Chains A and B, each alone.
Chain A
Amino acid sequence: MESVFEATVSRTEDGSVVVMSGTVNRAAKEALESAYEEAASGPGKILMDFRGVDYINSTGIAVIVGVLAIARAEHRAVGAFGLTDHYREVFTITRLSDFMTIYDNETAAAAAG
């Protein structure tokens, strides 16, 4: 049932993308935080790619909040794309979207300054 969470980092022209797959729950904490650190070691904005994520629960939201807290302390801009309509709604309800820009897709995310 549980799909293992994985996160890898790829560099773009003006920043980094944290590409995630699997389930975002409390078990994702370590992998997501170290992927964030890797992304944050480079310059530019950080994008989180949710296209490969099949399930996010409240413990996963807590993990994302944890990452956003680090980013905020470091004054790093974080964006996200690839969320389903439902999880966009969840991100809105939880106000996560106030602290990370949600883009419709990868192109929109890359184009945004």
Chain B
Amino acid sequence: MVQLMRRRRAEGTESAQVEETASESKTRLIDAIPIPMGDPLEALLLSNGGPVVLRDLEFESAALDGLRQSGVELVVPLIGQGELLGALYLGPRLSDQPYSTDDRRLLGSLASQVAPAMKVAQLVREQQAEAKERERIQQELQVAALIQQTLLPKELPAITGWQVDAFYRPARAVGGDFYDFIDLEDGRLGVVIGDVTDKGVPAALVMATCRSMLRAAAQRHSAPSAVLAEVNDSLVPEIPPAMFVTCLYAIIDTGAGEIVFANAGHNLPYVRSNGGVIELRATGMPLGLMPGMSYEETSYGMGAGEVMVLTSDGITEAHSPEGEMYGFARLMGRVGKKTSEDDMLNEVVNDLEKFTGPDAEQEDDITLVVVKRTSSAQGAASTFLPLEGGVPLQDGGESEGPQVLARFSVPSEEGNERIAIAKVTAAIGSLALQPDRLERLKTAVGETVMNAIEHGNEFRSELDVEVEVCANDDTVSVLVTDQGGDKLIPEAAVPDIEAKLAGEQTPRGWGLFLIEQMVDEVKSTSNGGAHTVELVMNREGAL
């Protein structure tokens, strides 16, 4: 706080020398005594405005007594905008000459120049500090947003008979909302929605940790309550104090239509059932607060046309310009309304935007996951939605219809077949194909996507190659669609390596041959502008 000042001036050796002499041999440094607010000395200095000789003063003041005891003879106040900013205390002169009127005038004039400069310097320093802080916050926000964007799902699950939608919009300060979809065995899908208290990078890091813990636990336990209990215990020692995570974890049995969920203090789900809107309840403490928690489990059988809506509190706690909160009642009412479009996700978002007004700055992250059961027909392959362009799929009359494991597209650019290979590999990871068959399928996918990029879409990056991965009990299929029109895939001729080596044939022309050699069946169809190659691999001898 108070600093004793007796510095050597940096500029001008002459004056520095004078000061040194003064400080070392003659001038004595004394502790700076504060003049507290309300002390009579403060009032006097303010009313007087200039230097004051202490000897002339006659009133009771702690500060005055202290200064006199320290041998101070003259006080030069530093006054800025009517406030006492500080003071310079001088002892008697070395020459024992008293401070003359001229001396005091000079000292007063100096102080009156220092005061405004001090004020300005202080403001500049504060502004610099603020600018630095703003820059730091901005950088932190960018990092937080990056972490969050990297970890949120890039694709929505595509499941026969179900429609899954998600909406996520970060607030400027990036809160800790997240959601996730986890592929589970036996046609089950894990759905996560959560919110980390706090914002910025710390929240994003906790979110990343929590997400990977959830993913790992989801593969180990089949009950949502057990998943949350495990994540809670793992999170407690990892999470910074005063931070916690609300989270709802639901498992959808996509065949039977049953949803089982457990809830760690998150917003409850609403279901627009065929008999009206209902709130599903399950209790449990947020994750990361204390170990050994147990979580209640609730299940609900979704009928065809029924919709479940999961939200974060960024929706329910959003405010109107008048300061009213959106609230649960309004959300529940909105979920209960069925419109002709039946587009739950956009209807809730639009209603929220109407409520907060167009100019409102979003207070918190907004996350919404909507799960709709579109059809309750089980095992009917006809319920599977074909790709645009109408790709005929196997009739699938026996056993289960094909399950779509992934659907994505890559731009038609050199090298993108490797993205497709990686995504297909990830999508079929749970099928446990034998390693050699997996490698062959990867090569076939790479060659097929490469053909689609190069020959179908002719490297036009504005055209996408669409890839769909599906599986039934017996086979895995990868469908690769380009916009190459009606050209059918030619029969793959066996390339003549002798002719190629002799320079009688181009060294190229291996792609189609390889594809046919790698998989069990290759089908090719064209419909309108779209051309689809379907690679079929039997799942025989799967691990």
Contact = CB atoms under 8 A, between A and B. Distances in A.
* A, B bound: yes
A57 B447 contact: yes
B500 interface: yes
A23 B417 CA distance: 12
A86 B507 contact: no
A103 interface: no
A86 B441 CA distance: 11
A7 B502 CA distance: 25
Contacts of A27: 414
A89 interface: yes
Contacts of A66: 507
Contacts of A86: 436, 439-440, 443
A21 to B, nearest CB: 16
B117 interface: no
Interface in B473-507: 495, 497, 500-503, 506-507
Interface in A43-73: 55, 57-59, 61-63, 65-66, 68-69, 72
Nearest to A73: B503
Contacts of A58: 447, 450, 508, 510-511, 514
A55 B445 CA distance: 13
Interface string A71-113: 0100000000000111001100111101100000000000000
Interface string A18-33: 0000010101000000
B419 interface: yes
Interface in B501-543: 501-503, 506-511, 513-514, 517
A13 interface: no
Chain B interface category by residue count:
20 to 34
B511 A99 contact: no
Contacts of B501: 65, 68-69, 72, 99
Contacts of B503: 69
B507 A90 contact: no
A1 B517 CA distance: 26
Interface in B140-199: none
A94 B510 contact: yes
Contact of A62 (B422, B440, B443, B507): B507
B224 interface: no
Nearest to B515: A58
Max count, chain B CB within 10 A of own CB: residue among A57, A58, A61, A96: A58
B418 A94 contact: no
Max count, chain A CB within 10 A of own CB: residue among B446, B497, B513: B497
B415 A2 contact: yes
Contacts of B497: 65, 94-96, 98-99
The prevalent SS among residues of B at the interface is helix
A94 B415 contact: no
Contacts of A85: 436, 439
Contacts of B511: 58
Given A65-B497, A65-B501, A99-B501, A94 B507 contact: no
Contacts of A84: 439
B495 A59 contact: no
Contacts of A55: 418, 446
Contacts of A69: 500-503, 507
Nearest to B454: A59
A2 B418 contact: yes
Contacts of A94: 495, 497, 510, 513-514
A95 B499 CA distance: 12
A23 B440 CA distance: 17
Contacts of A95: 497
Max count, chain A CB within 10 A of own CB: residue among B447, B501, B511: B501
Contacts of B500: 65, 69
A53 to B, nearest CB: 13
Contacts of A63: 507
Contacts of A25: 415
Max count, chain A CB within 10 A of own CB: residue among B418, B443, B510: B510
A105 B509 CA distance: 29
A66 to B, nearest CB: 5
Contact of B446 (A57, A65, A89): A57
Contacts of B450: 57-59
Given A1-B418, A85-B436, A90 B502 contact: no
Contacts of B502: 69, 72
Max count, chain B CB within 10 A of own CB: residue among A23, A95, A99: A95
Contacts of B446: 55, 57
A27 B414 CA distance: 10
Interface of B: 414-419, 422, 436, 439-440, 443, 446-447, 450, 495, 497, 500-503, 506-511, 513-514, 517
Interface of A: 1-2, 23, 25, 27, 55, 57-59, 61-63, 65-66, 68-69, 72, 84-86, 89-90, 93-96, 98-99
11 contacts: A2-B415, A57-B417, A57-B446, A57-B447, A62-B508, A65-B500, A84-B439, A86-B439, A86-B443, A90-B443, A90-B514
Given A1-B415, A2-B418, 18 more contacts: A1-B419, A57-B417, A57-B447, A58-B510, A61-B510, A62-B506, A62-B509, A65-B500, A66-B507, A69-B500, A69-B503, A72-B501, A86-B436, A89-B436, A93-B517, A94-B514, A96-B497, A99-B501
The 9 nearest A-B residue pairs measured at CB: A86-B439, A58-B510, A65-B507, A58-B511, A62-B507, A62-B508, A2-B415, A1-B418, A95-B497
